[in-house]
Structure 1
C-alpha cells in the first residue's frame, strides 16, 4: 500500500476543506487549534496502471499549514510532519511520499535524525520525498513546452530559480547532460552553494533574479520557501516559458502577459481516472487525472514493489535515477502536464 502526506495552502483553505470533508470541529477553528490537531487519514485511493495492475493507497492530512513556518513555530512544523509519518507507518503503509512543504521541512530541519515519535521508531525506508520524479517531470515539461511554443533549446537560455535545492540541482544536472541548451543561469540565495553547484556542473552563470529574468527564454521556478524571491513579469522576455514548480501554484493568476506561457511545474496527468477525492480540494483542473509528481512517485514505487526511500537526502538525485523513475512513469501511464 502507498501513502501520501499532504497539507493545505492556508488556514482559510483548511477551514473550507474541513467543512467539505465533514470535519465540522475543524472548520471554525483558528491557527492555534490547527497547531495541535493530529494527522488524519482522509481519503482511500485506488489507482489502475495502463498495464492493468491496480494498487491502493491512503492520503494522510498532516494538518500542517504554511503559516506555521512564520515566527517561532518551527518546532510545530517539525512535529506535524513527524506525527504524519508516524501515523502512516502505524497504519502499515509501505511507501509514503512527502508532499508540498513536508519534504522541505524534512530536509531543512534534518528530521532523518529524529526517528523516535512517541512509541514509534520511524522506518525511514518507508518514506520518499518524491523529488526525483518531480525533477524528471519538470525537465520533460521544459523539453515539451519548448517544442509547443517554438523555443529552440539549442539557442535558449534557461534560468533555474532555486538552483541549489534538491529539485533545482537535479534539474540543472539533467539540463547539463541530457538537453542541449545555449546557456544555463543559476539563481539562489546561498552564494556558497551556487559556486559549488557551478563547479560540479562545469558551467552555468550565477546571477541575481533581477539580472536573470530579462535574459531567460525559459524560467524554471523551484525556489523552496513560501516567501522570498519574486518575479516581476514586466522584465520577462517575449516569448517566455515559466515553469511554476512551487506550492501553492499561483503564477498563472499573478502573471498574465502576452507570450508568457505559465506551466504548472511538477504536475502529471494519468491516462486513467484515479478513484479519489483529494485532488479536488487542491484545485486541479482535472482532479481525476492530475496530481503532483511527488505523489505519483509513491504510486510508481508501489506499482514496481520498490518499497524504499527512492528520493532522500539533499542534492542526492542523479540523472540515472531520474531516467529510471521516468521509464516506469511512462510504463504506468503518467505524462507531464503541458496544457
Structure 2
C-alpha cells in the first residue's frame, strides 16, 4: 500500500476543506487549533495501471499550514510532518510520498535526526520526497511545451530559478545531459552552491533573477518566489515559456500576456480515472486524472514493488534515476501536463 502526506494552502483553504470532508469541528478554528490538530487519513485511493494492475493507498492530511512558517511556528510545522509520517507508518503503509512543503521542511530542518516519534521509530526507507519524478516531469514539460510554443531548445536559453535545490539541480543536470539546449542560466541565493553546480556541469551562467529574465526563452521556477517580487512581462522574451514548479502555484494568476505561456510544472495526468477525492479539494482542473508528480512517485514505487526512499537527501538525484522513474511513469500510464 502507498501513502501520500499532504497539506492545504492556507488557513482559509483548510477551514473550507474541513467542512467538505466532514470535520466541522475543524472548520471554524484558527491557527492555534491547527497547530495542535493531529494528522488524519482523509481519503482512500485506488489506482489502475495501463498494465491492468490496481493498487490502493491512503491520503494523510498533516494539518500543516504555510502560515505556521510565516508566523514562526517552526516547532509546530516540524512536529506536523513527523507526526504525519508516524501516522502513515502505524497504518502499515509501505511507501509514502512527502508532498508540498512536507519534504522541504523535512530537509531544511534536518528532521532525520528525530527518528523517534512517541512510540514509533520512523523507518525512513518507507518514505520518499517524490522529487526525482517531479524533476523528470518538469524536464519533459520543458521539452514538449517548448515545441508547442515554437521554441527550439537548440537555440534557447533556459533559466532555472532555484537551481541549487533538489529539483532545480536535477532539472539542470538533465537539460545539460539529455537535451541540446543552447544556454542554461543558474539562479539561486547561495553563491557557493551555484559555483559548485557550475563546476559540476562545466557550463551555465550564474546570474541574478532580474538579469536572467530578459535573456531567457524558458524560465523554470522551482523555488519560492521572494516576497514582493513581481515579474514584468515587458522584460520577457516573446514567446516565453514559464514553468511554475512551486507550490502553491500562482504564476498563471499573476501573468497575463498572449505570448507568455505559463504551465503548471510537476503535474502529471494519468491515462485512467483514479478513484479518490483529494485532488478535487486542491483544485486540479481534471481531478480524477491530474496529480502532483511527487505523489505519483509513491504510486510508481508501489506498482514496481520498490519500497524504498527512492528520492532522499539534498542533491542526490541523478539522470539515471530520473530515467528509471521516467520509464516506470510511461509504463503505468502517467504523462506530463502540457499547455
- Whether these two folds match at TM > 0.5 is yes
Q: Which residue number corresponds to residue 316 of structure 1?
A: 316
Q: Does 1:304 align with 2:308?
A: no
Matches within 5 A, 1:10-49: 10-49=10-49
SS at match of 2:258: coil
The answer as to whether partners of 1:66 and 1:226 remain within 8 angstroms in 2 is no
- C-alpha separation in 2, matches of 1:229 and 1:249: 15
- C-alpha separation in 1, matches of 2:77 and 2:265: 25
Structural RMSD (CA): 1.1
1:75 offset after TM fit, Å? 1.2
Q: Which residue number corresponds to residue 150 of structure 1?
A: 150
- C-alpha separation in 2, matches of 1:138 and 1:228: 25
Matches within 5 A, 1:257-296: 257-296=257-296
1:73 offset after TM fit, Å? 1.0
1:312 offset after TM fit, Å? 0.2
The answer as to whether partners of 1:86 and 1:117 remain within 8 angstroms in 2 is yes
SS at match of 1:262: strand
1:144 offset after TM fit, Å? 0.2
1:231 offset after TM fit, Å? 2.9
Q: Does 1:240 align with 2:246?
A: no
- C-alpha separation in 2, matches of 1:123 and 1:27: 33
- C-alpha separation in 1, matches of 2:43 and 2:160: 35
SS at match of 1:242: strand
Q: Which residue number corresponds to residue 231 of structure 1?
A: 231
Matches within 5 A, 1:24-103: 24-103=24-103
- C-alpha separation in 2, matches of 1:255 and 1:156: 21
Matches within 5 A, 1:95-244: 95-224=95-224, 227=227, 230-244=230-244
1:96 offset after TM fit, Å? 0.1
- C-alpha separation in 1, matches of 2:228 and 2:118: 35
Any stretches of 5+ residues in structure 1 without a counterpart?
A: none
- C-alpha separation in 2, matches of 1:169 and 1:316: 9
Q: Deviations over 1:79-112 (max 9, x none)?
A: 0000000000000000000000000001100111
1:287 offset after TM fit, Å? 0.1
Segments of 4+ moved more than 6 angstroms? none
Any stretches of 5+ residues in structure 2 without a counterpart?
A: none
Q: Which residue number corresponds to residue 8 of structure 2?
A: 8
1:71 offset after TM fit, Å? 3.5
Q: Which residue number corresponds to residue 338 of structure 2?
A: 338
SS at match of 2:141: helix
1:228 offset after TM fit, Å? 7.4
1:253 offset after TM fit, Å? 1.2
Q: Deviations over 1:269-320 (max 9, x none)?
A: 0000000000001110000000000000000000000000000000000000
1:234 offset after TM fit, Å? 2.8
